[in-house]
Amino acid sequence: MAPGSADAAMVSSDGLQIDVRTLHDLLQSGRPIRMLDVREPWEHKICRIENSHLIPLADLADRSDELSDDMPLVVICHHGARSFHATLWLRQQGFANAVNLAGGIDAWAVEIDPGMQRY
């Protein structure tokens, strides 16, 4: 997201991360947003954020054509490390709207959906 864009307020000061509460608020608002889950299929079966698109990190380079840069892209993994690396890679590929979900799906389970299964 370019500084000063309508979505700039949703990211951290470094422009690369979003926290789970902000993501929750964005999803509740109905704003168009895409969520990319870069975990493995076995992890995705345990828990997931509804409507997230699964592309395991190892497949991302081959499948990035499934993504669009016309809306915010929130990248998700277990704790935020893999998704951070994926976000950096996506930014290098021209996905200026890619941001990492800080804390990953584990933070989502703790702060937003305590009933979600954790691993």
Give the H or E element holding residue 23: helix 20-29
Q: Do residues 74 and 101 lie in contact, with contact meaning Cβ atoms separated by under 8 Å?
A: yes
List the structure tokens of 94: 């021209």
Per DSSP, the three-state class of 92 is helix
- CA dihedral angle for residue 43, residue 19, residue 86, residue 93, rounded to 10 degrees: 140
Fold of 10-111: Oxidized Rhodanese; domain 1 (3.40.250)
Confidence of residue 11 (pLDDT cuts 50, 70, 90): low
Q: Do residues 101 and 20 lie in contact, with contact meaning Cβ atoms separated by under 8 Å?
A: yes
The reported pLDDT for the residue numbered 46 is 97
> Where along the chain do its domains lie?
10-111
- pLDDT, tens digit, for every residue of 12-65? 667 899 999 999 999 999 999 999 999 999 999 999 999 999 999 999 999 999
- pLDDT, tens digit, for every residue of 85-101? 999 999 999 999 999 99
DSSP class of 117: -
- pLDDT, tens digit, for every residue of 103-112? 999 999 999 9
pLDDT reading at 9 higher than 60: no
The reported pLDDT for the residue numbered 15 is 81
